[in-house]
Amino acid sequence: MTFGTIEDGNEDDAFADTKLMIMWGWNPAYTFHGGNTFYYMRMAKQRGCKFVVVDPQYTDSAAAYDAWWIPIRPNTDAAMLAGMAHYIFASNLQDQKFIDEFVQGMDAGTMPDWAKGQESFKDYIMGTSDGVPKTPEWAEKICGVLRRTSSSWPTCMPVPSRRRSRLPGRRGATPTASSTTAWPRRCRR
């Protein structure tokens, strides 16, 4: 389950009930966005939530929440997410009912009329059009994250995924922002 969008954000009280918190370059111990973020994250920790920090740097938050730190190479988030999406599709873990009802362009069956016959997201991930499957092994060469990471998260739902907002024009900004918001919903609960 993904909480919020880039426009409306997340409700921090939802953090209290999560099983796995993934922080993509987000360091709440250092950056404060208002509200009761720390209270709900502490509550999640007390309830057994596991924390993952995906960031080139070992952060204060990684230490404070005893997080699994994944030292990804800078600006390679999209490659890691593509590898994770490949694992989800190859293992048939996507919530196809949700995709069919709410997503456009995920696969051939969800392409809008004006885009019929064009490459879908799944075609890109699976390498159907370009002959390059975006496997966890492919992603590992780019982002330096071990391929086992890409296959360990999709079974840990629900996952609120928090990430930093990247500046417009920064390399990887659009794919990363959309992928980190959307990827957890691709899995079955």
Residue partners of 23: CB distance under 8 A and separation at least 6: 51, 52, 53, 54, 55, 61, 67, 162, 163
Report the pLDDT value the prediction gives residue 182, as an integer from 0 to 100. Answer: 42
Domains of the chain (ranges; CATH) run 12-186 (3.40.228.10)
Task: Supply the pLDDT for residue 25.
Answer: 85
Alpha-carbon distance of 183 to 48, in angstroms, equals: 23
Band (pLDDT 50/70/90 cuts) for residue 105 is: very high
Q: What is the pLDDT of residues 7-28, one digit of tens each?
A: 555 577 788 888 888 888 888 8
- Predicted structure pTM score: 0.70
